[in-house]
Structure 1
Protein backbone atom coordinates (compact mmCIF):
# COMPACT_ATOMS: atom_id res chain seq x y z
CA UNK A 1 0.00 0.00 0.00
CA UNK A 2 1.09 3.56 -0.71
CA UNK A 3 0.77 5.64 2.46
CA UNK A 4 -0.17 9.29 2.57
CA UNK A 5 0.45 11.67 5.43
CA UNK A 6 -1.44 14.73 6.61
CA UNK A 7 -1.33 16.97 9.66
CA UNK A 8 -4.43 18.12 11.53
CA UNK A 9 -4.58 20.39 14.57
CA UNK A 10 -7.46 19.21 16.73
CA UNK A 11 -9.17 21.43 19.29
CA UNK A 12 -9.00 20.12 22.86
CA UNK A 13 -9.91 21.77 26.18
CA UNK A 14 -6.19 22.40 26.74
CA UNK A 15 -5.39 23.83 23.31
CA UNK A 16 -4.66 22.63 19.79
CA UNK A 17 -3.22 19.14 19.51
CA UNK A 18 -1.15 18.46 16.43
CA UNK A 19 -1.98 15.02 15.12
CA UNK A 20 -0.21 13.20 12.30
CA UNK A 21 -2.40 10.99 10.13
CA UNK A 22 -0.83 8.14 8.15
CA UNK A 23 -3.24 6.15 6.00
CA UNK A 24 -3.47 4.25 2.73
CA UNK A 25 -4.09 6.35 -0.36
CA UNK A 26 -7.60 6.36 -1.80
CA UNK A 27 -11.12 6.68 -0.52
CA UNK A 28 -11.63 3.28 1.08
CA UNK A 29 -12.61 3.21 4.76
CA UNK A 30 -10.20 1.50 7.15
CA UNK A 31 -9.95 0.66 10.85
CA UNK A 32 -8.04 3.25 12.87
CA UNK A 33 -5.17 2.91 15.33
CA UNK A 34 -4.40 5.70 17.80
CA UNK A 35 -0.64 5.40 18.17
CA UNK A 36 1.01 7.01 21.19
CA UNK A 37 4.67 7.98 21.17
CA UNK A 38 7.42 7.89 23.72
CA UNK A 39 8.10 11.09 25.68
CA UNK A 40 9.89 12.48 22.61
CA UNK A 41 6.68 12.79 20.48
CA UNK A 42 6.72 11.88 16.77
CA UNK A 43 10.37 11.07 16.14
CA UNK A 44 11.62 9.17 13.11
CA UNK A 45 11.17 5.76 14.76
CA UNK A 46 7.59 6.60 15.79
CA UNK A 47 6.70 7.81 12.31
CA UNK A 48 8.15 4.66 10.79
CA UNK A 49 6.14 2.55 13.25
CA UNK A 50 2.98 4.42 12.26
CA UNK A 51 3.66 3.95 8.55
CA UNK A 52 4.40 0.26 9.07
CA UNK A 53 1.01 -0.24 10.70
CA UNK A 54 -0.72 1.92 8.07
CA UNK A 55 0.83 -0.22 5.35
CA UNK A 56 -1.16 -3.17 6.65
CA UNK A 57 -4.49 -1.46 6.05
CA UNK A 58 -5.01 0.95 8.93
CA UNK A 59 -5.38 4.68 9.32
CA UNK A 60 -2.95 5.66 12.08
CA UNK A 61 -3.19 8.82 14.20
CA UNK A 62 -0.12 10.00 16.13
CA UNK A 63 -1.03 12.82 18.55
CA UNK A 64 1.51 15.11 20.15
CA UNK A 65 1.08 13.87 23.69
CA UNK A 66 2.48 17.03 25.34
CA UNK A 67 0.90 19.60 23.05
CA UNK A 68 -0.03 21.89 25.97
CA UNK A 69 3.59 22.18 27.05
CA UNK A 70 5.41 22.70 23.74
CA UNK A 71 5.05 24.57 20.45
CA UNK A 72 3.15 22.60 17.82
CA UNK A 73 5.51 20.34 15.89
CA UNK A 74 7.97 19.83 18.74
CA UNK A 75 10.13 16.71 18.50
CA UNK A 76 12.54 16.03 21.35
CA UNK A 77 15.96 14.54 20.69
CA UNK A 78 17.06 11.14 21.95
CA UNK A 79 19.59 12.68 24.31
CA UNK A 80 19.76 13.70 27.96
CA UNK A 81 18.20 17.11 27.35
CA UNK A 82 15.33 15.55 25.42
CA UNK A 83 14.83 12.91 28.07
CA UNK A 84 14.82 15.50 30.84
CA UNK A 85 12.28 17.67 29.01
CA UNK A 86 10.03 14.73 28.16
CA UNK A 87 10.04 13.43 31.72
CA UNK A 88 9.28 16.91 33.02
CA UNK A 89 6.34 17.17 30.61
CA UNK A 90 5.12 13.75 31.75
CA UNK A 91 4.89 14.99 35.30
CA UNK A 92 3.45 18.36 34.33
CA UNK A 93 0.42 17.21 32.34
CA UNK A 94 -2.87 16.49 34.09
CA UNK A 95 -4.44 13.09 33.62
CA UNK A 96 -7.75 14.66 32.55
CA UNK A 97 -5.94 16.11 29.54
CA UNK A 98 -5.02 12.65 28.26
CA UNK A 99 -8.66 11.64 28.43
CA UNK A 100 -9.90 14.74 26.61
CA UNK A 101 -7.16 14.28 23.99
CA UNK A 102 -8.45 10.77 23.34
CA UNK A 103 -12.01 11.98 23.08
CA UNK A 104 -11.03 14.76 20.66
CA UNK A 105 -9.54 12.21 18.25
CA UNK A 106 -12.47 9.83 18.57
CA UNK A 107 -14.96 12.65 17.93
CA UNK A 108 -13.01 13.88 14.91
CA UNK A 109 -12.81 10.37 13.45
CA UNK A 110 -16.60 10.09 13.41
CA UNK A 111 -16.66 12.65 10.57
CA UNK A 112 -13.88 11.12 8.46
CA UNK A 113 -15.08 9.05 5.48
CA UNK A 114 -11.93 6.90 5.59
CA UNK A 115 -12.71 5.70 9.14
CA UNK A 116 -14.90 2.61 9.25
CA UNK A 117 -15.72 3.08 12.93
CA UNK A 118 -13.42 0.36 14.28
CA UNK A 119 -10.78 1.92 16.56
CA UNK A 120 -7.79 0.48 18.39
CA UNK A 121 -4.81 1.92 20.26
CA UNK A 122 -1.10 1.19 20.44
CA UNK A 123 1.91 2.78 22.10
CA UNK A 124 5.46 2.52 23.37
CA UNK A 125 6.91 3.40 26.79
CA UNK A 126 4.72 6.19 28.21
CA UNK A 127 2.79 5.76 24.97
CA UNK A 128 2.08 2.19 26.02
CA UNK A 129 0.51 3.61 29.17
CA UNK A 130 -1.42 6.18 27.14
CA UNK A 131 -2.71 3.46 24.83
CA UNK A 132 -3.86 1.63 27.97
CA UNK A 133 -5.50 4.89 29.07
CA UNK A 134 -7.24 5.16 25.71
CA UNK A 135 -8.68 1.68 26.30
CA UNK A 136 -10.82 3.24 29.03
CA UNK A 137 -12.87 4.78 26.22
CA UNK A 138 -15.72 2.49 25.15
CA UNK A 139 -14.97 3.04 21.44
CA UNK A 140 -11.55 1.37 21.73
CA UNK A 141 -11.92 -2.28 20.78
CA UNK A 142 -8.29 -3.49 20.91
CA UNK A 143 -5.10 -2.11 22.46
CA UNK A 144 -1.42 -3.09 22.15
CA UNK A 145 0.80 -1.80 24.98
CA UNK A 146 4.55 -2.10 24.52
CA UNK A 147 6.59 -1.82 27.76
CA UNK A 148 4.10 0.67 29.26
CA UNK A 149 5.68 2.68 32.04
CA UNK A 150 4.08 3.75 35.32
CA UNK A 151 1.19 1.29 35.28
CA UNK A 152 2.74 -0.39 38.33
CA UNK A 153 3.35 2.91 40.15
CA UNK A 154 1.25 5.85 41.29
CA UNK A 155 3.48 8.40 39.55
CA UNK A 156 1.16 9.41 36.70
CA UNK A 157 -1.42 10.32 37.60
CA UNK A 158 -1.09 10.75 41.35
CA UNK A 159 -4.72 11.80 41.91
CA UNK A 160 -6.55 9.30 44.12
CA UNK A 161 -8.81 6.99 42.15
CA UNK A 162 -7.68 8.30 38.77
CA UNK A 163 -4.74 6.02 38.10
CA UNK A 164 -5.29 3.88 35.02
CA UNK A 165 -5.14 0.67 37.06
CA UNK A 166 -7.89 2.00 39.32
CA UNK A 167 -10.28 2.12 36.36
CA UNK A 168 -10.01 -1.37 34.94
CA UNK A 169 -13.79 -1.72 35.01
CA UNK A 170 -13.92 0.85 32.19
CA UNK A 171 -11.96 -1.37 29.78
CA UNK A 172 -14.28 -3.24 27.44
CA UNK A 173 -11.88 -4.16 24.63
CA UNK A 174 -9.02 -6.66 24.38
CA UNK A 175 -5.49 -5.86 25.57
CA UNK A 176 -2.09 -7.08 24.41
CA UNK A 177 0.68 -6.48 26.95
CA UNK A 178 4.26 -6.79 25.64
CA UNK A 179 7.28 -6.42 27.94
CA UNK A 180 11.06 -6.72 28.00
CA UNK A 181 12.34 -8.78 30.90
CA UNK A 182 15.55 -6.74 31.08
CA UNK A 183 13.67 -3.43 31.26
CA UNK A 184 14.87 -1.53 34.36
CA UNK A 185 11.88 0.82 34.23
CA UNK A 186 9.38 -2.00 34.73
CA UNK A 187 10.93 -4.65 37.00
CA UNK A 188 9.60 -8.18 37.40
CA UNK A 189 7.66 -7.26 40.53
CA UNK A 190 5.98 -4.39 38.70
CA UNK A 191 5.00 -6.60 35.78
CA UNK A 192 3.66 -9.22 38.17
CA UNK A 193 1.52 -6.61 39.91
CA UNK A 194 -0.03 -5.51 36.61
CA UNK A 195 -0.68 -9.12 35.62
CA UNK A 196 -2.36 -9.88 38.94
CA UNK A 197 -4.60 -6.83 38.75
CA UNK A 198 -5.66 -7.49 35.15
CA UNK A 199 -6.42 -11.11 36.02
CA UNK A 200 -8.39 -10.17 39.12
CA UNK A 201 -10.48 -7.73 37.07
CA UNK A 202 -11.22 -10.45 34.47
CA UNK A 203 -9.83 -8.31 31.64
CA UNK A 204 -9.53 -9.96 28.22
CA UNK A 205 -5.77 -9.77 27.66
CA UNK A 206 -2.73 -11.59 26.33
CA UNK A 207 0.68 -11.36 27.97
CA UNK A 208 4.12 -11.49 26.36
CA UNK A 209 7.53 -11.21 28.05
CA UNK A 210 10.68 -11.36 25.93
CA UNK A 211 14.39 -11.02 26.57
CA UNK A 212 14.63 -7.36 25.66
CA UNK A 213 15.59 -4.06 27.20
CA UNK A 214 13.49 -0.94 27.41
CA UNK A 215 12.75 0.57 23.97
CA UNK A 216 13.78 -2.58 22.11
CA UNK A 217 11.32 -1.68 19.33
CA UNK A 218 12.85 1.75 18.67
CA UNK A 219 14.91 1.38 15.51
CA UNK A 220 17.54 3.88 16.67
CA UNK A 221 20.04 3.30 19.43
CA UNK A 222 21.86 0.34 20.90
CA UNK A 223 18.81 -1.27 22.54
CA UNK A 224 17.00 -1.95 19.27
CA UNK A 225 16.31 -5.65 18.67
CA UNK A 226 14.96 -6.24 15.17
CA UNK A 227 13.79 -9.78 15.88
CA UNK A 228 11.83 -8.75 18.96
CA UNK A 229 10.43 -5.70 17.19
CA UNK A 230 9.14 -7.89 14.36
CA UNK A 231 7.54 -10.21 16.91
CA UNK A 232 5.89 -7.22 18.58
CA UNK A 233 4.50 -5.83 15.34
CA UNK A 234 3.23 -9.25 14.28
CA UNK A 235 1.49 -9.64 17.62
CA UNK A 236 -0.16 -6.23 17.31
CA UNK A 237 -1.19 -6.87 13.70
CA UNK A 238 -2.66 -10.22 14.75
CA UNK A 239 -4.73 -8.53 17.45
CA UNK A 240 -5.96 -5.69 15.26
CA UNK A 241 -6.59 -7.97 12.29
CA UNK A 242 -8.72 -10.27 14.41
CA UNK A 243 -10.63 -7.64 16.40
CA UNK A 244 -10.84 -4.58 14.16
CA UNK A 245 -10.72 -5.98 10.63
Structure 2
Protein backbone atom coordinates (compact mmCIF):
# COMPACT_ATOMS: atom_id res chain seq x y z
CA UNK A 1 0.00 0.00 0.00
CA UNK A 2 1.33 3.44 -0.94
CA UNK A 3 1.55 6.12 1.73
CA UNK A 4 1.87 9.88 2.01
CA UNK A 5 3.72 11.78 4.73
CA UNK A 6 3.07 15.24 6.14
CA UNK A 7 3.11 16.94 9.52
CA UNK A 8 0.72 18.79 11.77
CA UNK A 9 1.60 21.23 14.56
CA UNK A 10 -0.59 20.51 17.57
CA UNK A 11 -1.19 22.82 20.51
CA UNK A 12 -0.34 21.37 23.92
CA UNK A 13 -0.15 22.98 27.37
CA UNK A 14 3.65 23.11 27.01
CA UNK A 15 3.76 24.48 23.45
CA UNK A 16 3.55 23.40 19.84
CA UNK A 17 4.18 19.70 19.22
CA UNK A 18 5.17 18.88 15.66
CA UNK A 19 3.67 15.51 14.78
CA UNK A 20 4.58 13.61 11.63
CA UNK A 21 1.66 11.84 9.97
CA UNK A 22 2.22 8.83 7.70
CA UNK A 23 -1.05 7.87 6.04
CA UNK A 24 -1.93 5.06 3.63
CA UNK A 25 -3.34 6.16 0.29
CA UNK A 26 -6.79 4.68 0.54
CA UNK A 27 -10.37 5.87 0.42
CA UNK A 28 -11.21 3.63 3.38
CA UNK A 29 -11.24 4.92 6.93
CA UNK A 30 -8.17 3.82 8.87
CA UNK A 31 -7.24 3.21 12.50
CA UNK A 32 -4.58 5.46 14.03
CA UNK A 33 -1.33 4.44 15.72
CA UNK A 34 0.55 6.77 18.07
CA UNK A 35 4.19 5.86 17.37
CA UNK A 36 6.81 6.97 19.90
CA UNK A 37 10.45 7.38 19.02
CA UNK A 38 13.63 6.81 20.94
CA UNK A 39 15.15 9.82 22.74
CA UNK A 40 16.49 11.00 19.36
CA UNK A 41 12.99 11.88 17.99
CA UNK A 42 12.05 11.09 14.36
CA UNK A 43 15.32 9.82 12.94
CA UNK A 44 15.58 7.93 9.66
CA UNK A 45 15.06 4.52 11.33
CA UNK A 46 12.00 5.77 13.21
CA UNK A 47 10.48 7.30 10.07
CA UNK A 48 11.04 4.07 8.15
CA UNK A 49 9.51 2.02 10.95
CA UNK A 50 6.45 4.27 11.02
CA UNK A 51 6.06 3.93 7.26
CA UNK A 52 6.18 0.14 7.51
CA UNK A 53 3.19 0.23 9.87
CA UNK A 54 1.40 2.82 7.71
CA UNK A 55 1.90 0.64 4.65
CA UNK A 56 -0.30 -1.99 6.26
CA UNK A 57 -3.33 0.28 6.49
CA UNK A 58 -2.78 2.36 9.61
CA UNK A 59 -2.37 6.13 9.89
CA UNK A 60 0.73 6.60 12.04
CA UNK A 61 1.47 9.71 14.11
CA UNK A 62 5.05 10.32 15.29
CA UNK A 63 5.21 13.18 17.82
CA UNK A 64 8.34 15.07 18.75
CA UNK A 65 8.46 13.67 22.26
CA UNK A 66 10.59 16.48 23.71
CA UNK A 67 8.98 19.31 21.75
CA UNK A 68 8.98 21.75 24.68
CA UNK A 69 12.75 21.36 25.11
CA UNK A 70 13.95 21.70 21.49
CA UNK A 71 13.32 23.77 18.37
CA UNK A 72 10.68 22.32 16.05
CA UNK A 73 12.21 19.75 13.72
CA UNK A 74 15.03 18.70 16.06
CA UNK A 75 16.53 15.29 15.32
CA UNK A 76 19.37 14.12 17.56
CA UNK A 77 22.27 12.10 16.18
CA UNK A 78 23.02 8.55 17.23
CA UNK A 79 26.22 9.61 18.99
CA UNK A 80 27.38 10.54 22.49
CA UNK A 81 26.21 14.14 22.20
CA UNK A 82 22.79 13.11 20.94
CA UNK A 83 22.45 10.48 23.63
CA UNK A 84 23.42 12.93 26.37
CA UNK A 85 20.96 15.55 25.11
CA UNK A 86 18.14 13.03 24.76
CA UNK A 87 18.68 11.62 28.23
CA UNK A 88 18.78 15.12 29.68
CA UNK A 89 15.48 15.91 27.95
CA UNK A 90 13.97 12.71 29.31
CA UNK A 91 14.91 13.73 32.85
CA UNK A 92 13.71 17.31 32.38
CA UNK A 93 10.25 16.64 30.97
CA UNK A 94 7.40 16.48 33.44
CA UNK A 95 5.56 13.16 33.21
CA UNK A 96 2.20 14.89 33.00
CA UNK A 97 3.39 16.48 29.76
CA UNK A 98 3.30 13.09 28.08
CA UNK A 99 -0.33 12.65 29.10
CA UNK A 100 -1.23 16.05 27.70
CA UNK A 101 0.62 15.21 24.46
CA UNK A 102 -1.38 11.99 24.12
CA UNK A 103 -4.64 13.81 24.71
CA UNK A 104 -3.77 16.43 22.07
CA UNK A 105 -3.08 13.77 19.45
CA UNK A 106 -6.20 11.78 20.30
CA UNK A 107 -8.36 14.90 20.13
CA UNK A 108 -6.92 15.76 16.70
CA UNK A 109 -7.39 12.21 15.40
CA UNK A 110 -11.05 12.18 16.39
CA UNK A 111 -11.70 15.16 14.11
CA UNK A 112 -10.15 13.60 11.01
CA UNK A 113 -12.37 12.33 8.17
CA UNK A 114 -10.12 9.31 7.62
CA UNK A 115 -10.41 8.05 11.22
CA UNK A 116 -12.11 4.67 11.68
CA UNK A 117 -12.72 5.04 15.41
CA UNK A 118 -9.85 2.84 16.69
CA UNK A 119 -6.50 3.93 18.14
CA UNK A 120 -3.37 1.98 19.12
CA UNK A 121 0.14 2.85 20.26
CA UNK A 122 3.65 1.59 19.58
CA UNK A 123 7.19 2.61 20.47
CA UNK A 124 10.87 1.71 20.77
CA UNK A 125 13.11 2.24 23.84
CA UNK A 126 11.79 5.26 25.81
CA UNK A 127 9.13 5.25 23.11
CA UNK A 128 8.15 1.78 24.30
CA UNK A 129 7.53 3.29 27.72
CA UNK A 130 5.65 6.22 26.18
CA UNK A 131 3.46 3.80 24.24
CA UNK A 132 2.79 2.04 27.55
CA UNK A 133 2.01 5.46 29.00
CA UNK A 134 -0.39 6.16 26.15
CA UNK A 135 -2.25 2.97 27.06
CA UNK A 136 -3.43 4.78 30.20
CA UNK A 137 -5.75 6.76 27.90
CA UNK A 138 -9.14 5.04 27.59
CA UNK A 139 -9.15 5.36 23.78
CA UNK A 140 -6.07 3.15 23.32
CA UNK A 141 -7.18 -0.38 22.45
CA UNK A 142 -3.86 -2.06 21.57
CA UNK A 143 -0.25 -1.22 22.39
CA UNK A 144 3.08 -2.67 21.19
CA UNK A 145 6.02 -1.86 23.48
CA UNK A 146 9.52 -2.70 22.26
CA UNK A 147 12.21 -2.90 24.99
CA UNK A 148 10.49 -0.20 27.04
CA UNK A 149 13.00 1.54 29.29
CA UNK A 150 12.36 2.87 32.80
CA UNK A 151 9.24 0.82 33.51
CA UNK A 152 11.23 -1.11 36.11
CA UNK A 153 12.73 2.02 37.70
CA UNK A 154 11.17 5.03 39.37
CA UNK A 155 12.58 7.91 37.34
CA UNK A 156 9.87 10.45 38.11
CA UNK A 157 11.19 12.67 40.97
CA UNK A 158 8.66 13.48 43.70
CA UNK A 159 5.76 11.95 41.74
CA UNK A 160 5.79 8.23 42.53
CA UNK A 161 2.03 7.94 42.20
CA UNK A 162 2.27 9.14 38.60
CA UNK A 163 4.78 6.48 37.54
CA UNK A 164 3.32 4.37 34.73
CA UNK A 165 3.59 1.13 36.72
CA UNK A 166 1.55 2.65 39.55
CA UNK A 167 -1.39 3.31 37.22
CA UNK A 168 -1.93 -0.12 35.72
CA UNK A 169 -5.61 -0.06 36.69
CA UNK A 170 -6.10 2.66 34.04
CA UNK A 171 -5.05 0.35 31.19
CA UNK A 172 -8.04 -1.16 29.41
CA UNK A 173 -6.54 -2.31 26.10
CA UNK A 174 -4.28 -5.23 25.16
CA UNK A 175 -0.50 -4.96 25.38
CA UNK A 176 2.32 -6.63 23.46
CA UNK A 177 5.62 -6.53 25.38
CA UNK A 178 8.82 -7.33 23.43
CA UNK A 179 12.26 -7.48 25.02
CA UNK A 180 15.86 -8.39 24.20
CA UNK A 181 17.54 -10.80 26.62
CA UNK A 182 20.90 -9.13 25.99
CA UNK A 183 19.55 -5.62 26.63
CA UNK A 184 21.81 -4.00 29.22
CA UNK A 185 19.27 -1.19 29.78
CA UNK A 186 16.60 -3.59 31.05
CA UNK A 187 18.18 -6.50 32.98
CA UNK A 188 16.42 -9.78 33.65
CA UNK A 189 15.42 -8.74 37.16
CA UNK A 190 13.90 -5.53 35.81
CA UNK A 191 11.86 -7.46 33.27
CA UNK A 192 10.65 -9.77 36.04
CA UNK A 193 9.45 -6.77 38.07
CA UNK A 194 7.40 -5.48 35.12
CA UNK A 195 5.99 -8.93 34.32
CA UNK A 196 4.89 -9.65 37.87
CA UNK A 197 3.20 -6.26 38.28
CA UNK A 198 1.35 -6.64 35.00
CA UNK A 199 0.30 -10.16 35.94
CA UNK A 200 -0.92 -9.03 39.37
CA UNK A 201 -2.94 -6.24 37.71
CA UNK A 202 -4.62 -8.87 35.49
CA UNK A 203 -3.83 -6.96 32.31
CA UNK A 204 -4.43 -8.47 28.88
CA UNK A 205 -0.92 -8.89 27.47
CA UNK A 206 1.51 -11.13 25.65
CA UNK A 207 5.19 -11.26 26.54
CA UNK A 208 8.12 -12.07 24.24
CA UNK A 209 11.82 -12.22 25.06
CA UNK A 210 14.27 -12.68 22.19
CA UNK A 211 18.02 -13.10 21.94
CA UNK A 212 18.64 -9.51 20.95
CA UNK A 213 20.38 -6.39 22.18
CA UNK A 214 18.84 -3.04 22.98
CA UNK A 215 17.64 -1.28 19.80
CA UNK A 216 17.54 -4.47 17.73
CA UNK A 217 14.66 -2.93 15.73
CA UNK A 218 16.75 0.09 14.65
CA UNK A 219 17.94 -0.48 11.07
CA UNK A 220 21.14 1.46 11.69
CA UNK A 221 24.13 0.38 13.73
CA UNK A 222 25.64 -2.91 14.80
CA UNK A 223 22.81 -3.95 17.15
CA UNK A 224 20.23 -4.18 14.35
CA UNK A 225 18.86 -7.70 13.90
CA UNK A 226 16.80 -7.88 10.67
CA UNK A 227 15.35 -11.29 11.49
CA UNK A 228 14.09 -10.17 14.90
CA UNK A 229 12.87 -6.87 13.45
CA UNK A 230 10.66 -8.66 10.92
CA UNK A 231 9.31 -10.87 13.69
CA UNK A 232 8.63 -7.82 15.84
CA UNK A 233 6.75 -6.01 13.09
CA UNK A 234 4.72 -9.14 12.39
CA UNK A 235 3.68 -9.46 16.04
CA UNK A 236 2.72 -5.78 16.27
CA UNK A 237 0.78 -5.80 13.01
CA UNK A 238 -1.12 -8.94 13.97
CA UNK A 239 -2.14 -7.27 17.24
CA UNK A 240 -3.27 -4.10 15.46
CA UNK A 241 -5.10 -5.98 12.74
CA UNK A 242 -6.93 -8.08 15.30
CA UNK A 243 -7.82 -5.28 17.73
CA UNK A 244 -8.10 -2.18 15.51
CA UNK A 245 -8.78 -3.13 11.91
Q: What is the TM-score when the length of structure 2 is the normalising length? A: 0.99
Is 2:150 the partner of 1:150?
yes
1:164 aligns with 2:164: yes
Cα deviation code 1:155-190 (max 9, x no counterpart): 146512000000000000000000000000000000
Tell me if the contact between 1:157 and 1:163 (Cα under 8 Å) persists in the aligned partners. Answer: no
Distance between the aligned counterparts of 1:243 and 1:150, measured in 2?
A: 26
The alignment of Structure 1 onto Structure 2 pairs a total of residues equal to 245
Q: Give the Cα–Cα distance (whole angstroms) in 2 for the partners of residues 12 and 110 of structure 1.
A: 16
**What residue number does 1:28 align with?**
28
CA shift digits 1:172-219 (9 cap, x unpaired): 000000000000000000000000000000000000000000000000
Alignment of 1:1-245 (within 5 A): 1-156=1-156, 159-245=159-245
The alpha-carbon deviation at position 25 of structure 1 amounts to 1.6
8 Å CA contact 2:28–2:114 kept in 1: the answer is: yes
Aligned counterparts of 1:158 and 1:244: Cα–Cα separation in 2: 36
In 1, Cα distance between equivalents of 2:4 and 2:60: 11
Equivalent residues of 1:17, 1:64 under 8 A apart: yes
Residues 81-119 of structure 1: CA deviation (Å, up to 9, x unaligned): 000000000000000100000000000011101111100
Which portions of structure 1, spanning 4 or more consecutive aligned residues, are displaced by more than 2 angstroms?
none
- Quick check: 1:142–1:175 contact (8 Å CA) kept in 2? yes
Structure 1 residue runs of 5 or longer lacking an equivalent are none
Tell me the CA shift for residue 26 of structure 1: 3.8
Preserved contact between residue 154 and residue 160 of structure 2 (Cα < 8 Å): no
Asked if the contact 1:179–1:208 (Cα under 8 Å) also holds between the matched residues in 2, the reply is yes
CA 165–7 in structure 1, closer or farther in 2 if over 3 Å, else same: same
The question of whether the paired residues in 2 share the 8 Å contact of 1:142 and 1:173 is answered with yes
- Write out per-residue CA displacement over residues 1-46 of structure 1, whole angstroms, 9 at most, x where no aligned residue: 1110111000000000000000112432101100000000000000
When structure 1 is superposed on structure 2, of 166-175 and 148-157 the one drifting more is 148-157
Say whether the 8 Å CA contact 2:18–2:73 is kept in structure 1: yes
Computed over aligned residues only, the root mean square deviation of the Cα atoms, in angstroms, reads: 0.8
Cα distance in 2 for residues equivalent to 1:115 and 1:236: 20
- Once residues 228 and 158 of structure 1 are traced to their aligned partners in structure 2, the CA distance between those partners, rounded to angstroms, is 38
Structure 2 stretches lacking a partner, 5+ long: none
SS of equivalent residue, structure 1 residue 87:
helix
2:80 & 2:156 partners in 1: Cα distance? 21
